[in-house]
Structure 1
Amino acid sequence: MTTRSKSGIFKPRHIADLAIAASSSLHHALLVAKDPKGYKTASKHSKWVIAMQEEVDALHINNTWVLVPRPTNANVVGSKWVYRTKYKSDGTVDRYKARLVAQGFTQIPGLDYFLTFSPVVKASTVRIVLALAIINNWHLHQLDVKNAFLNGTLTETVYMEQPPGFINPSAPHHVCLLKKALYGLKQAPRAWFQRLSSFLVSIGFVCSRADTSLFVFKRSSIVLYVLVYVDDIILTGNDEKVIQKFINRLYQEFAITDLGPLNYFLGLEVTYTPNGLFLSQAKYAYDILSRAGLLDAKPVGTPLNTTELFTTHGTPFHDPTMYRSLVGALQYLTITRPDLSYAVNQASQFLQTPTTTHFQLVKRILRYVKGTISYGLTFDKPTQTRLVGYSDADWARCIETRRSTYGYSIYLGGNLVSWSAKKQPTVSRSSCESEYRAMANAAAEIIWITHLLRELHALPLTQPTILCDNRSALFLSQNPVSHKRAKHIDIDYHFIRELVSSGLLHTKYVPTKRQVADIFTKSLPRPKFEQFRGMLRVGPPPLRLKGGNSP
């Protein structure tokens, strides 16, 4: 036998990952050319000069500001250019974007701004709307608002310096009195959302009370859903003609770009299959691995080792900022990867003072991501629409605080729409108590989902069900018992009894070997982990994909 060592080859062997090999070289080449950091660098390249001119033209057309003499007793906010190369989901360049932003950190609270809060759509709401679109065979449309924040009207008086490189030669010492909101201002997101929500309400939409970034239009048999995430909009409904009329109405009010069928939304890649769609974050996962320098790491089968227990003791990690950055990125990756939830939750508990052991935990998670980089959530058309939740808890999992870890997963028509993996805020005196508290948290999420589905006019006829593998907790939820081991449990956890007794919720026993929520409470051996991962409908892309542009 001729081996590598006998042939004098001692370099490590790199096995290509076919799931990303096609786009890795291209994406690596794109990362080499970094975006400029300031105006002086950008002004040397024609592509950025054109992008800046387009931005300034759009600001003038929108009447964003008027030039006025510099005030003597008012604060003047700084301005700067921000440059970003926009990529498509396959890693190719989409466009070059130059954005003029206000330096919001120079604003004075109570003078330049007051209220700043602006809601964004919840990830669970997005998955629920996607599941309903698959159930009803509706098309998903994606819209983008050009310079969205410029549509917001300011109620405060804000002065800003003229844009670098575009100072008016006839009035070089004047400043911009802002009439419209600008990116970077503290109140800009709120002003834009108020402008958009007011318009949608004026044409017949109703703002959801369960999620204020969701708007529903219902007239006779026509139903439309609009999801808003800052300047990205998802639109679906049961009447394509009405949807097109609504898009045309938006054209008249805002500068809208119709991106066609939903394809790439907030880093989520949507691929259509014959029976539904596949939701993944492969490009985002690749970016995380590239940032961590683990593109060539050896993959592992599970995100955590079953024998590892994490404490606050150990050698402090030399770069806590890097640790927090990677964990934050992994938290966003869990939008389509529930199999990472427990491991990421463990890593998130040590953000304050991470140790080298904790960083090894993060590296193992990333090695698992490396081997499953193309994995995502599958949404299929169900045979029946039911709301089912799995609830589980691992008693006294934390060896330092002895608090329990709980988790739940909720399915709508067999499609996973919501899940959680968290440490309970208080210590439980028994496994029954920890399981009972976990059921109460799962029930609260199910009730929120039922409120949302009722507003979407899609509430299933059957009552929702919670499946638990602890008979004592089930008995406690179904019977108003008074026991010395349960009398100290907070009253707010007992609301699950009222739900069960009133017929709004059904609780049922499930064997531990079928308790899929177990994956959110502890690290599991590989066979059991892969079994529950499959039950979560997490896996590689289905075969025979149609492509992202086919509805």
Structure 2
Amino acid sequence: MEQPPGFLDSKYPSHVCWLKKALYGLKQAPRAWFQRLSVFLVQHGFQCSRADPFLFIYKHASCVLYLLVYVDDIILTGNNSSKISDFITRLHKEFSIKDLGKLSYFLGLEISYTEYDLFLSQTKYAHDILVRAQLLDSKPIATPFPTAASFTTDGHPYDDPTYYHSLVGALQYLTITRPNISYVVNQVSQFLHTPTIDHFQDVKRIIRYIKGTMHYGLTFYHSPKPSLLGYSDVDWACCIETRRSTYGYSIFLGGNLVSWSAKKQPTVARSSCESEYRALENTATEIVWITHLLRELYILPPDRPTIMCDNKSALILSQSPVSHKRSKHIDIDYHFVRELVSSGKLYTKFVPTHLQLSDIFTKSLPRPLFESFRTKLHVGVPPIRLRGY
């Protein structure tokens, strides 16, 4: 800590300024603002969520309010419109804020509504990516990556790694509403340190796919009886150079996709059963976090969650308390899923490979299967409902 230029005290050169009020531009500003807002919310009956520290929940009788904070952007919703209006008035008296009305645009996400549906998209953000990549006039392509191709470190280095980082980072944020490109974006993200010309061509192919699906997004439908259903899948030893597996999961709440992931496993698996079992554990961990969040939101489904897996050996390993010789080397923390199953908090079930929705997060698929899974993930154009008069 040093005295700022122009405010040096010759008598006390080793002294520093005492911060009385945090302003924009200071490192302490975000933390000070969040602390100030948190104290205000707690004083008005809100409780900070344990599952998400930026989520605050108000519960009184049948009234429930949810308030989500991202720096100085706030989303407020609930089941009591008069209580919401009253609390917005209190916020106005305490802070200098602007009420933008019904949520329509938030951090690059575009929200549109129909009578029964909610549609999230990033059309403007996708357009900006195309402009940045100078591919706005490029020819669209049906799939983000060819089926038979693979990702390797071979090839000539790309001469502008910073530009490559910029495009890949933008694509990572686009996966918020475009889970169907999560796998290929994860793959090109693994070569940020030393990208090659081939990797840059892969990124351009992804952007060309986005060109033809620019208006696509996630649709959420109303479900009267929501339940948690997860899909877990692995492409065993798919990496040619490291022989590590890529796993993916997708979790649905009431038929709506709420969480997904495509990642490379940190260690090499000796068998497909082992890699599938590790993927089950990762999926179970995410489901446990979601159940904690839903419990705090007072909307936890009464039925126990279910994970669908297409590997029978991994299912038997998750359901059987017997330690087999081939599974002794598996770390203890991966048996977490077995404890959940034995305690009745989780149910694992077999699903055929052609119905395994998480297959789209582990490998490049043929166009018919890719489009089929994309539809089942509720990724597509905005829903249109016609009403007669």
User: Which residue number in structure 2 is paired with residue 70 of structure 1?
Assistant: 7
User: Which residue number in structure 2 is paired with residue 391 of structure 1?
Assistant: 232
Contact 1:272–1:545 (CA<8 Å) still a contact in 2?
Answer: no
**188, 211, 223: which one pairs with 1:382?**
223
- The AA in structure 2 aligned to 1:378 is T
1:295-351 alpha-carbon deviations (Å, 9 max, x no partner): 011111111111211111210001000000000000000000000100100010000
1:75 Cα deviation after fit = 12
User: Which residue number in structure 2 is paired with residue 219 of structure 1?
Assistant: 60
Q: Distance in 1 between matches of 2:194 and 2:174?
A: 23
- The AA in structure 2 aligned to 1:496 is V
Q: Distance in 2 between matches of 1:197 and 1:387?
A: 31
User: Which residue number in structure 1 is paired with residue 147 of structure 2?
Assistant: 306
- 1:425 partnered with 2:266: yes
Alignment of 1:432-511 (within 5 A): 432-511=273-352
User: Which residue number in structure 2 is paired with residue 79 of structure 1?
Assistant: none
- The AA in structure 1 aligned to 2:263 is K
1:240-266 alpha-carbon deviations (Å, 9 max, x no partner): 111111101101100111111110000
Contact 1:271–1:545 (CA<8 Å) still a contact in 2?
Answer: no
**18, 25, 28: which one pairs with 1:157?**
18
1:71-91 alpha-carbon deviations (Å, 9 max, x no partner): 236999xxxxxxxxxxxxxxx
1:158-186 alpha-carbon deviations (Å, 9 max, x no partner): 5xxxxxxxxxxxxxxxxxxxx42222211
User: Which residue number in structure 2 is paired with residue 321 of structure 1?
Assistant: 162
1:222-253 alpha-carbon deviations (Å, 9 max, x no partner): 11000111111111111111111110110110
Partner secondary structure for residue 504 of structure 1: coil
**Distance change (3 Å), C-alpha of 1:73 and 1:221:** farther
**288, 295, 309: which one pairs with 2:136?**
295
Alignment of 1:3-42 (within 5 A): none
User: Which residue number in structure 2 is paired with residue 529 of structure 1?
Assistant: 370
**Distance change (3 Å), C-alpha of 1:204 and 1:397:** same
Q: Distance in 1 between matches of 2:308 and 2:25?
A: 47
Q: Distance in 1 between matches of 2:65 and 2:285?
A: 27
- The AA in structure 1 aligned to 2:72 is D
**82, 87, 101: which one pairs with 1:246?**
87
Q: Distance in 1 between matches of 2:276 and 2:323?
A: 17
Partner secondary structure for residue 393 of structure 1: strand
Q: Distance in 1 between matches of 2:386 and 2:244?
A: 44
Q: Distance in 2 between matches of 1:388 and 1:422?
A: 20
1:197-216 alpha-carbon deviations (Å, 9 max, x no partner): 11101111000010000000
User: Which residue number in structure 2 is paired with residue 333 of structure 1?
Assistant: 174
- 1:409 partnered with 2:250: yes
Contact 1:467–1:509 (CA<8 Å) still a contact in 2?
Answer: yes
1:382 Cα deviation after fit = 1.4
1:188 Cα deviation after fit = 1.2
**Distance change (3 Å), C-alpha of 1:73 and 1:297:** farther
Q: Distance in 1 between matches of 2:18 and 2:376?
A: 55
Partner secondary structure for residue 168 of structure 2: helix
Percent of residue pairs identical? 69
> What is the aligned length?
383
**Distance change (3 Å), C-alpha of 1:484 and 1:323:** same
Q: What are the ranges of 5 or more consecutive residues in structure 1 without an aligned counterpart?
A: 1-67, 77-110, 113-155, 159-178, 547-551
- The AA in structure 2 aligned to 1:489 is I
- Which structure has the bigger radius of gyration? 1
User: Which residue number in structure 2 is paired with residue 201 of structure 1?
Assistant: 42
1:545 Cα deviation after fit = 8.4
User: Which residue number in structure 2 is paired with residue 29 of structure 1?
Assistant: none
Partner secondary structure for residue 66 of structure 2: strand
1:357 Cα deviation after fit = 0.5
**Distance change (3 Å), C-alpha of 1:243 and 1:396:** same
Contact 1:276–1:381 (CA<8 Å) still a contact in 2?
Answer: yes
Q: Distance in 2 between matches of 1:225 and 1:318?
A: 48
- 1:259 partnered with 2:100: yes
Q: Distance in 2 between matches of 1:375 and 1:237?
A: 28
1:451-506 alpha-carbon deviations (Å, 9 max, x no partner): 01111111110001100011110000000122222111110010111100101001
**Distance change (3 Å), C-alpha of 1:75 and 1:365:** farther
**Distance change (3 Å), C-alpha of 1:185 and 1:435:** same
TM-score, reference length from structure 1? 0.68
User: Which residue number in structure 1 is paired with residue 33 of structure 2?
Assistant: 192
**Distance change (3 Å), C-alpha of 1:225 and 1:75:** farther
Q: Distance in 2 between matches of 1:221 and 1:430?
A: 51
**Distance change (3 Å), C-alpha of 1:69 and 1:518:** closer
Contact 1:273–1:545 (CA<8 Å) still a contact in 2?
Answer: no
- The AA in structure 2 aligned to 1:157 is W
1:397 Cα deviation after fit = 0.8
Q: Distance in 1 between matches of 2:305 and 2:169?
A: 33
Partner secondary structure for residue 359 of structure 2: helix
Partner secondary structure for residue 474 of structure 1: helix
- 1:210 partnered with 2:210: no
Contact 1:342–1:421 (CA<8 Å) still a contact in 2?
Answer: yes
- The AA in structure 2 aligned to 1:325 is S
Q: Distance in 1 between matches of 2:342 and 2:10?
A: 65
1:122-142 alpha-carbon deviations (Å, 9 max, x no partner): xxxxxxxxxxxxxxxxxxxxx
Q: Distance in 1 between matches of 2:79 and 2:232?
A: 34
1:383 Cα deviation after fit = 3.7
